[in-house]
Every structure is written in structure tokens, then in C-alpha cells.
């Protein structure tokens, strides 16, 4: 058996086979990743807004390893502790929200990278158990992705993208729309997001970084492709559960109503014909 490695070769794949399509996971169910994770190229484990504790996160990363897909963990903030814990799971990378300035981006890099570039604390239990005490020597393969989620961040995007150690810049569509005065019920469109998306991809191309965003629906996916995004989140467990449940429920209720309409009356009660 080959020795486990921290290197998922994902950056090489991004360079040769863009775009890579991602699945967002917010519920603590490793079985979901085992069942459908392989349909996607990478998995976004949402430790910021998802219903996940540390035990859930590491279980999801293990499931990603099982299906051979790199896991990227979104942490709640910029603090070194949570960033280090997320990377100690053996994840392929970390996604850090609300990075508005190059100084914040540099702080994130310092927390996520080992010396000499950063100051990440050494000693992750899972990496040592799987790879050995030399795992820090491979840790340069880990990707640091910062989220651009405000008008301030867009203004500073060129300087943020230029920060050494930042590997990717991720436009967060909901937060940027909210901060530009849009309702969360308004659709994501080229009119509402196009300029911000283009600012991110331009900066990414200029500085050799990976451009990341969420592309839901055919129109937004096509726009992501046109602008050159290399990592595109196209679906998630929440939307899949909700959409499929609503559709199956509607289909079943339509069958019931159709059967009722065909039922033969028998006094005051209705004799139902077979439903299925």
C-alpha cells in the first residue's frame, strides 16, 4: 500500500483541467460524502455556517479521503487556532471568510503556513499518524483560499491577491450582494454579480492565483466559465435535499389527487382505486 500523503495533486489538476466542480456540505453526515462525494471534483466542508463540530469536520474529511476527493474546510474566522485545527484534519486546504485587506490576508497565511512563510503550530495528530513527523515538509501543498465578501475587499482585491501564500480568492456571492443592498431572495445574475466576479478573476489571472466562486444554475455556471473561474461550487447537500424532497412530495401528491378524481362514489364515502 502506498504511504498516505498530504499532497492531493489538486493544484496540478486545476492547472491542467479547469474548472473543478465542487460540492458544499453543511450537515454532519459523512455518509452523504461517501454516497455522492465522488460525483464531484472537490468538497467544501462548511465549518463556518454549517451544523458541524470538530468531530463532524474530521469525519467528513475522512470520507473525502475515502472517495478520493480533496476537502477544503471553511473556518469561522481569521484566528490561528481554528485554522490550524482545520488543517490538522489532513484537509487539502482552508477557506477563510471575510478577508477585506491585504493585512488580513497576510494574517491568514501566517496562521495556515509553517515557517518560514508562516507560524502554524506543528503537531497535528492525524497528519503524524498517517504520514509521519515529516508531514510539515509537504504542507506547502495545502491551499489557502481567502473569501472576498465586501465592497472593501473588491477595492483591495489586487493587493489581496498579491499576498504571498494566498493560493486562491473566493468571491462569496451572498455576502457581496447583501453588502451591496440586494435582498437575499433576489437571483444571482450578471447584473448583480458580474462586475465583482470579473474583478476577482482579473486579479487571480494577474497574480497566478485560483479564482473560486459559487455557480448555481446554468446561467451562472456559464458566466463562471466565461470569466475563467477554476473552482466552481455547483451544488450542496442542503439544496439537494430540499429540492428533491419538494419534487418527490409534489409528484406523490399529484398522484394522490389524480387517484381521488378517478375514485367511484359509494354513498357518503369514496372508494379509492389503486394508487400505485
* Band of pLDDT at residue 3, cut at 50, 70 and 90: low
Residue 157 is predicted with a pLDDT of 98
* Band of pLDDT at residue 276, cut at 50, 70 and 90: very low
- Is residue 217 predicted with pLDDT exceeding 90? no
What angle is formed at CA 86 by the lines to CA 57 and CA 231, rounded to 5 degrees?
Answer: 85
Instruction: List Cβ neighbours of 108 (8 Å cut-off, separation of 6 or more).
Output: 78, 83, 96, 99, 144, 146, 166
User: For the chain, what percent of residues have pLDDT higher than 70?
Assistant: 92
Give per-residue pLDDT as tens, 235-271: 999 999 999 999 999 999 999 999 988 875 654 554 4
Give per-residue pLDDT as tens, 102-151: 999 999 999 999 999 999 999 999 999 999 999 998 888 899 999 999 99
Residue 264 is predicted with a pLDDT of 55
Q: Which domains does the chain have, with CATH numbers?
A: 10-271 (3.20.20.60)
List beta partners, residue 235. Answer: 23
Q: Which residue has the cell 502554524?
A: 120
- Is residue 220 predicted with pLDDT exceeding 60? yes
- Is residue 176 predicted with pLDDT exceeding 60? yes
Residue 1 is predicted with a pLDDT of 44
Q: Cis bond leading into 115, ω under 30°?
A: no
| Run of H or E including 235 | strand 231-236
User: 177-183 long-range contacts, Cβ below 8 Å, gap at least 24?
Assistant: 179/149, 179/150, 179/151, 180/151
Q: Average model confidence (pLDDT) for the chain?
A: 92
65-69, 214-218, 265-269 — which is least confidently predicted? Answer: 265-269
CA separation for the pair 190, 196 (Å, rounded) = 9
List residues with catalytic annotation.
49
Residue spans of alpha helices (H) in 53-101: 54-67, 80-87
User: For the chain, what percent of residues have pLDDT higher than 90?
Assistant: 81
Cell readout for 14 is 486545476
Cβ distance 138 to 6 under 8 Å? yes
CA separation for the pair 196, 115 (Å, rounded) = 33
* Beta strands, E only, 123-187: 143-148, 168-171
Which of 173, 174, 158, 175 has its CA nearest to residue 209?
158
Measured CA to CA in angstroms, residue 166 lies from 12, 110, 122, 140 at distances of 16, 10, 20, 11
Which of 198, 170, 180, 187 has its CA nearest to residue 24?
170
Amino acid at each position: 500500500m502506498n504511504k498516505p500523503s498530504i499532497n492531493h495533486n489538486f493544484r496540478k489538476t486545476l492547472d491542467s483541467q479547469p474548472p473543478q466542480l465542487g460540492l458544499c456540505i453543511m450537515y454532519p453526515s459523512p455518509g452523504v460524502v461517501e454516497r455522492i462525494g465522488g460525483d464531484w471534483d472537490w468538497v467544501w466542508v462548511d465549518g463556518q455556517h454549517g451544523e458541524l463540530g470538530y468531530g463532524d469536520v474530521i469525519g467528513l474529511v475522512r470520507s473525502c479521503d475515502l472517495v478520493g476527493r480533496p476537502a477544503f474546510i471553511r473556518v469561522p474566522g481569521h484566528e490561528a487556532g481554528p485554522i490550524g485545527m482545520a488543517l490538522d484534519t489532513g484537509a487539502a486546504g482552508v477557506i477563510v471568510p471575510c478577508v477585506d485587506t491585504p493585512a488580513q490576508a497576510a494574517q491568514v497565511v501566517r496562521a495556515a503556513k509553517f515557517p518560514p512563510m508562516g507560524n502554524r503550530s506543528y503537531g497535528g495528530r492525524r497528519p503524524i499518524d498517517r504520514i509521519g513527523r515529516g508531514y510539515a515538509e509537504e504542507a506547502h501543498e495545502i491551499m489557502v483560499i481567502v473569501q472576498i465578501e465586501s465592497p472593501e475587499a473588491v477595492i483591495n482585491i489586487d493587493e489581496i491577491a498579491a499576498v504571498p501564500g494566498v493560493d486562491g480568492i473566493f468571491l462569496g456571492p451572498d455576502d457581496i450582494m447583501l453588502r451591496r443592498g440586494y435582498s437575499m431572495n433576489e437571483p444571482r445574475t450578471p447584473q448583480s454579480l458580474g462586475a465583482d466576479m470579473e474583478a476577482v478573476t482579473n486579479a487571480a489571472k494577474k497574480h497566478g492565483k485560483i479564482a473560486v466562486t459559487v455557480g448555481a444554475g446554468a446561467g451562472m455556471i456559464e458566466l463562471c466559465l466565461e470569466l475563467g473561474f477554476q473552482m466552481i461550487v455547483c451544488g450542496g447537500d442542503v439544496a439537494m435535499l430540499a429540492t428533491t424532497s419538494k419534487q418527490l412530495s409534489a409528484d406523490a401528491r399529484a398522484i394522490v389527487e389524480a387517484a381521488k378524481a378517478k375514485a367511484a362514489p359509494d354513498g357518503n364515502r369514496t372508494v379509492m382505486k389503486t394508487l400505485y
